[in-house]
Structure 1
């Protein structure tokens, strides 16, 4: 822990310069910089909930609403790593939810943050395990609870090489893992089994669903969700082949990083298909809808009967299958699914998903899976992954700390 803290002091100046550079380029404001350094108006006595970005925060919304419903006087201080996620929380319009950018994992800023806000507990969504944040919170007697924790085999191997892994696990008050595999890896890294809470995957918990915005027939709408560089071209090639056989098909292409919008638009143009761009406000009367915004993935899942999960045609480990399954989507994926090996194994074995190794395989699935096949696969996916977990059961287990 001492070595880690020493490194944060060494890199403090370069990080500060980078943050000031963002302000100078107007990608962030001085208010944002102050928040990253632990400043901002005090929000004393709230629950502190940290979620990295839009996806994690969106998945935590049902949990936040459950906690607020339990105690109408409760307030939740939400911190995020990105301005867009902060804006998302503000956009919910609940005065009991106060949004800030997360303080950097540096002792000086964190001490000021904790002294200013005096949170009752720290709830960490998924896998934002910052050593200083956890250690300093526990030093002040603040419970640290990790909710929907995910620990892939790759991440566990990296943590195992760090001498501070067991120190961090000893300081975590409790963990609610996403699945049995993540749970076992936390224990292997040093978490006491007595500190395990009921498992939950927040992305399968009931959410307040938005209406699908496009108005396209769901059975003929395909979503390519959270695609990475190297996946868009084969997805578009596959869709172009399927569309030639079934002209009623439509594609929503939602890249993991919206900043890649321009290069993806160029790839779409090469296929000869017409496209509209969400960020430009274009009307969706086209074959391909480029969903280059953040915080709207829930809408796209609600719009599509068939979904390709990104990060699986290239070696990124694959994104979660739980969210599309919760939306009753038929699931397609590539061969790289190490982040959710057990889940994809169960899906493939029970007919809830189809492994597509290349553009040809994707094209065949897009062409052949009609409404009956999609309905059957969606039910098989829900059977394979199990029913959504009960938030009340988790909040009951956390009550003694809240």
Structure 2
């Protein structure tokens, strides 16, 4: 491979200089989210778990969605490679807390090392992976080059490049090609990303299935589900999942409209980031609605109008409970969230118009009769009211959602086999 271009050298120098300051910032953030000082040091490459014997495949993902998208793939790889263990790294406290409850056999989690020479040297010397798999757009220059320099084969899966990133990359094509040519395999989650990479001369990039469609149903506590079903009984129920700032107001406004014709309706509101719960709780009361908050142990009673589900790791419970989900991250420029988990659970899906991260998936979802696009609070309230008053139509949407999700499962084993061959694991 050709030598590193000048921007890479400049980046390396700057990243190594600012690493101590960067660590203080990320450690403070992890501390505020309840991560112990010992585990915070993983960000400096200091392992808090022993490397298992035998072959080890390292998966690196950015945050919750990316981490969850590969768990089922790791499970299939584990079945195909019984002598192999797996390490999953990510950068956020939320991702660590969520995946801890869902790790496949022979898999452990660590926080990713900072993209600086000393943390990466410690990390690679401790774990010395036999192969490395990077997920979506989590491409740290030193992490890639130092891993590659140790002779470790690399793959990029579920690659996604936004239009803005593509424009930036094309301003520095030599740098982009230098980084991306570290990968033996580049699997893109959509043709748009593959086209952008082909424009840069990266012929190994191929479009394929979005791995988030293969993640399977989210787990949940069956006893908790039964208890909530008994408590809620026959009340009209809908779920606002993974809200971001600017979306909670839309959900609450829609619910106030729903309550006019459905006075006992219940909204379960799940923020994408539970640390926003105090702000959202105030928004609920300011809207004149009666809240209960799960993290505080508030009872869900007949007078509760909004149940603020501000806990981690229970998304599967809410999808299994609710027949109707408004999937957020699509009413503000976040790009949308994975629709396959609610679809697997048989929850009909409403969503906003801003879903750039799933530009292919959402139109297919809607065309399959499993989802409906709405533009704002008024349109959302209209669709909610129609569906809550039409059980047969809602049941049809739910059945279509299940079929849409089930149809995605067939390619996972083939993809795992392709990845094994690319990384010389077979």
Question: What is the TM-score with the length of structure 2 in the denominator?
Answer: 0.84
Corresponding position: 1:341 with 2:359: yes
Structure 1 counterpart of 2:274: 258
Alpha-carbon contact 2:30-2:92 (below 8 Å) kept: no
Instruction: Give the superposition deviation at 1:351.
Output: 4.1
Q: Distance in 2 between the 1:22 and 1:347 partners? A: 37
- After TM superposition, the structure 1 = structure 2 runs for residues 367-386 of structure 1, keeping only pairs within 5 Å, are 367-369=385-387, 370-380=390-400
Does structure 1 retain, via aligned residues, the 8 Å contact 2:213–2:405? no
Contact 2:217 2:316 in 1 (8 A): no
Q: Are 1:5 and 2:12 an aligned pair?
A: yes
Q: Distance in 2 between matches of 1:95 and 1:396?
A: 19
Residue aligning to 2:342: 324
Tell me the secondary structure at the aligned position of residue 267 of structure 2.
strand
CA deviation vs aligned residue, 1:356-376 (integer Å, no higher than 9, x gap)? 222111111111113322233
- Output the CA distance in 2 between the equivalents of 1:209 and 1:218: 24
Q: Take 1:63 and 1:248, find their aligned partners in 2: how far apart are those partners? A: 42
Matched, 1:387 2:407: yes
Q: 1:348, 1:354 within 8 Å by CA — same for their partners in 2?
A: yes
Give the counterpart of 2:238 among 222, 237, 254. Answer: 222
Q: Establish whether residue 52 from structure 1 lines up as the match of residue 62 from structure 2.
A: yes
Deviations 1:127-152 (A, max 9, x none): 21222111211111212122333333
Structure 1 residues 230-273: Cα deviation after superposition (integer angstroms, max 9, x where no partner):
11112111112112212343211111221111111111113333
Aligned residue number for residue 417 of structure 2: 396
Aligned partners of 1:255, 1:381: CA distance in 2, in Å?
Answer: 23
Match of 1:311 in 2: 329
Q: Which residue of 1 aligns with 2:5?
A: none
The answer to whether the 8 Å contact 1:198/1:394 transfers is no
Aligned to 1:142: 152
Is the aligned partner of 1:365 residue 2:383?
yes
Q: Write the distance in 2 (CA, Å) between the matches of 1:95 and 1:333.
A: 34
- RMSD of aligned alpha carbons: 2.9
Matched residues in 1 for 2:123 and 2:281: separation? 42
Contact 2:190 2:208 in 1 (8 A): no
Q: Distance in 2 between matches of 1:255 and 1:59?
A: 19
> How many Å separate the matches in 2 of 1:25 and 1:231?
24
Q: TM-score, normalising length from structure 1?
A: 0.88
Does 2:299 correspond to 1:283? yes
Equivalent residue for 1:43? 51
Q: Does the 8 Å CA contact 2:254/2:377 hold for their aligned counterparts?
A: yes
Aligned to 2:40: 33
Q: Which deviates the most, 209-218 or 184-193?
A: 209-218
Could you say what secondary structure the match of 1:148 adopts?
Answer: strand
Deviations 1:138-168, CA, capped at 9 Å, x for gaps? 1112121223333333333343344522212
Q: 1:383 to 1:168 in 2, by over 3 A?
A: farther
Contact 2:60–2:89 under 8 Å retained in 1: yes
After superposing the two structures, state which structure 1 stretch, 232-241 or 351-360, moved more: 351-360
Aligned length in residues: 401
